[in-house]
Amino acid sequence: DIQMTQSPSTLSASVGDRVTITCRANQSIYTWLAWYQQKPGKAPKFLIYKASSLESGVPSRFSGSGSGTEFTLSISSLQPDDFATYYCQQYNDYPWTFGQGTKVEIK
Amino acid sequence: EVQLMESGGGLVQPGGSLRLSCAASGFTFSNYAMTWVRQAPGKGFDWVSTISGRGDITNYADSVKGRFTISRDSSNNTLYLQMNSLRAEDTAKYYCAKGPDHYDHGYYDHWGQGTLVTVSS
C-alpha cells in the first residue's frame, strides 16, 4: 500500500496568515492526489484533485502543488471558516490511501 | 443539490452482520461511481469499497474483501454495504461518497454525514 504522511500534524495560525501543509508519498503517485477539509462532526469537503486542480466553488485562497512524492496545500490568507482538519489522499493505485490529517487551529 | 444520507449503523457483536444504506438525491445516480470510506474514532480515513456507475466493477480493501459486499440499486437511488463477520477493528463511522463520473477515478466530490458502526460484545 502507498503510505501518505502529512506534516505538521497540528498547525497553529491566525486569521490572515498564509499556511502550508505538506503531504508525502512513499512512492511516486505522479499528480494523482486529492485534498479534503473536515470539520468536527461534519462530512468531508472536497477541495482539490490532480494535485492542483481546484474543485468548483472552492475559494481561490486554496491552492495545491507538487508531483511525484511531495505535495503541498496552501491557504493564502487564512479565514475563520478554514480552521479544520485537512487530509490528502492518493489515487494512483489501489487501495486508495489517506494521510493522517493536519489540524489547523487558532493561534 | 447533491445529498447523500447514510443509515443502518449501530451496535453489533463480533461475528455479526449489518447492512448500511446510502440514499442519494440531486444527481443521476446511475451515472456515477460510489464509494464507502470509513473513519475509526479519532483516526484518519480508510477507503473500503467502490462500485462503478453501472455496478459492473467493484473493488475492495484487502481488510474487508470476502466479508463486505458493495451494491447499488438505481431504481431507488441507493448504495449498500453488506457487512458480515464483523470485527472490533471495523468499528468506525462509515461515509458514502460520490465520484466525479461513472468510473472510479479515485477521488470523491460529495460525501454524506456518515453512520456509526460499533462492533463490541
The whole-angstrom distance between residue B46's C-alpha and the CA centroid of its chain comes to 11
pLDDT, tens digit (0-9, with 9 covering 90-100), for A44-95: 999 999 999 999 999 999 999 999 999 999 999 999 999 999 999 999 999 9
The beta-carbon neighbor of B47 closest among A46, A92, A96 is: A96
Using a CB-CB cut-off of 8 Å, the residues of chain B touching A49 are: 100, 105, 107
Of B44, B109, B113, Cβ closest to residue A98: B44
Would an 8 Å CB–CB cutoff place B36 in contact with chain A? no
Chain B, nearest residue to A92 by Cα: B106
CB B89 within 8 A of CB B108: no
**Cis amide leading into A95 (omega within 30):** yes
* Nearest chain A residue (CA) to B36: A96
For chains A and B, count residue pairs whose Cβ atoms are closer than 8 Å.
50
Percent with pLDDT over 70 in chain B: 100
Identify whether A40 is preceded by a cis peptide bond (ω within 30 of 0).
no
Round to whole Å and give the CA distance between B15 and B84. 7
pLDDT tens readout for residues B15-67:
999 999 999 999 999 999 999 999 999 889 999 999 999 999 999 999 999 99
